[in-house]
Structure 1
Amino acid sequence: MAKQSIFGRISTLLRANINSMLDSAEDPQKMLDQLVRDYSNSIADAEAAIAETIGNLRLLERDHEEDIQEASEWGNKALAASRKADQLRTAGSTADADKFDNLAKIALQRQIGSEREARAVEPTIASQSEVVAKLKDGLNGMKQKLEQLRSKRSELLARAKTAEAQNKVHDAVKSIDVLDPTSELGRFEDKIRRQEALAQGKEELAASSLDAQFNSLDDMGELTEVETRLAELKAGTPAPAQQAIDASTAPYTP
C-alpha cells in the first residue's frame, strides 16, 4: 500500500504537469526544462517518503531487537534465580529456595512476554522490508528515467533547433524564388516590369505625337501647292502637272 500510495501520487502529479505543459504548447526548451525539474522534484518527494518508510521499518527492527534482547536477559535472570534456588534447597533453606524459584518464574513470564512481542512484529517487519525493497527499486528506476529524460531533452532540443534552422532556410529560399510571385524578388521583378511598360507607353505616345506633327506638315505642303496652282491658273500659266497632261495629248509630228 505504501509503495502504491507514494508512486501513484507521484505518477498522477507528473501526468497532470505533462498534460498541462503540452496543452499550453510552451516553448520546447522551457517545457522540457520544466519537465526535468518536475520529475526531479518528484524524485525528491519519493526519496523523502521512502526515507520515512525506511525509518519506520528501522524503528520496528530496533524494537524487535530490544524484545529479543529482553527475552534473553529475562531468560538469564530466570536461570540464575533457579540455580540460586537449587543451591539454597541443597543447603536446607527451603523457604529461600522457594523464593528464588518464584523469581525464576517471574523472569520466565517476562521472557515469554518479550518473545511474544518479538514474534508479533516479525510479519510486519517482513512485509515492510519487502515494501522498502520495492520502493528502492522504484526510486532507482525513477532516477534512471530521469537520466533518460535528460538525454531525451538534449536530443529533442537538438531536433527542435535543426527544424527551426531548416524552416529559416526554407523561408530564405522561398523569399528569393523567382517562380514565386509572393517572394521579395518576384515583387521586385514585377515592379521593374511595370516601370518598363510605363517607359514603353511613354515612348509610343511620343512616337504617335511625332507622326501627327509630320502629317500636319504634309497637309500644309499640299495646301501650299493648291494655292500655287490656283495663282498660276489665274495668271494663265498652267501648272507643271497640267503641262505634262497637255504634252501627252498633243498630236505626234515626225
Structure 2
Amino acid sequence: MQMFKRIADIFNSHVNSALDKLEDPEKMINLMITELEETQSKARSSMAARKAEQLSLEREKAELEKLLLRWEDRAKLAITNGREDLAREALIEKNNTNSRIKRIEELETNLQTILASQSSQLTQIADKLKEVKDKQQILVQRARSAKEKKQVADTLKSSDSTDLARKFSELESKIERMEADAEMAGYHGTASAADEFSKMENESEIDAEMEQLKASMSKKKEKEQK
C-alpha cells in the first residue's frame, strides 16, 4: 500500500504544481519520470532483499528438517538401548525443532505475500513509466498550450473594460483626424489661374448659345406675325 501511495503522491504533487505554475512543462515531466525510475529502483532493491531473506529461510528450514530427523533417530536409538530418559530428551528437542520449522514456514508464507504484492507494484510502476514516456511529447505540447491559454485568459481578465473603451475611442478620433487631413490635402483655398480661364471659357460658350437661342426664337415669332 505504501508503494501505491508513493506513486499517487508523485503524480499529485507534480501534476498539480505543473498546472499551477506551468513554468517548464518538459522539466516537470522529466522530473516525474526520474522519480518514477527511482521508485522503481527502490522497489526492485526491496524485492531483491525479500528474495534473499526467503532463500535464507529456505536454507535454515532445510537444516532444521535434517536436525528433526536426527533427533527422531536419537530417540529411537535411546529406546533401543533402554535409555528412556535420553529418548524423552531427544523427543523434546525434536518438538522444539518442529516448532522452529513452523515459525519459518509462517515467515515464508508472509514473505510470499509481500513478494507477490511487490511484483504487482513493480508491474504497475513499469506500465505507468512506459505510459508517461510514450506520451511525454504530447503532454509537453498540451501543457504549453494550457500555459498559453492561461496567459491569454489572465491578460483579458486583467484588462480594464473602461480603459479599453477609452483607447478605442482615442484610436477612432485619430483615424477621423487622418481622414480629414487627407481631404484637406487636396483643397487649395483660392481658384488657380487655370480654373479661372476654364470658368470664363464655359461662360462664353453659354452666352453664345443663349444668343443663338434668342435669335432663333425671334425669327420664329416674326414669321408667325406675318
Structure 2 CA distance for partners of 1:118 and 1:53, relative to 1, 3 Å: same
Structure 2 CA distance for partners of 1:115 and 1:77, relative to 1, 3 Å: same
Q: Aligned runs of 1:52-131 on 2, under 5 Å?
A: 52-79=49-76, 81-82=77-78, 86=80, 97-99=81-83, 102-131=85-114
Give TM-score scaled by structure 2 length. 0.58
Structure 2 CA distance for partners of 1:110 and 1:133, relative to 1, 3 Å: same
Query: Taking every aligned residue pair, what percent have the same amino acid on both sides?
Result: 22
The CA deviation string for residues 34-72 of structure 1, in whole angstroms up to 9 with x for no partner, is 221122122222223333333333433333333222212
Q: Aligned runs of 1:181-220 on 2, under 5 Å?
A: 194=178, 198=181, 201-205=184-188, 208=190, 210=192
Structure 2 CA distance for partners of 1:59 and 1:14, relative to 1, 3 Å: farther
User: Which secondary structure state, in structure 2, belongs to the residue aligned with residue 26 of structure 1?
Assistant: coil
Matching of residue 145 in structure 1 with residue 142 in structure 2: no
2: CA distance between counterparts of 1:134 and 1:105? Answer: 44
* TM-fit CA distance, 1:115: 0.9
Give TM-score scaled by structure 1 length. 0.53
1: CA distance between counterparts of 2:20 and 2:62? Answer: 54
Query: Which residue number corresponds to residue 119 of structure 2?
Result: 136
For these two proteins, the number of residue pairs brought into alignment is 171
Query: Which residue number corresponds to residue 25 of structure 1?
Result: 22
Greater C-alpha radius of gyration: 1
User: Which secondary structure state, in structure 1, belongs to the residue aligned with residue 123 of structure 2?
Assistant: helix
The CA deviation string for residues 126-184 of structure 1, in whole angstroms up to 9 with x for no partner, is 132122112111211210111111111133346678x69xx9xxxxxxxxxxxxxxxxx
Structure 2 CA distance for partners of 1:47 and 1:27, relative to 1, 3 Å: same
User: Which secondary structure state, in structure 1, belongs to the residue aligned with residue 9 of structure 2?
Assistant: helix
User: Which secondary structure state, in structure 2, belongs to the residue aligned with residue 208 of structure 1?
Assistant: coil
Query: Which residue number corresponds to residue 41 of structure 1?
Result: 38
2: CA distance between counterparts of 1:6 and 1:50? Answer: 12
1: CA distance between counterparts of 2:141 and 2:95? Answer: 69
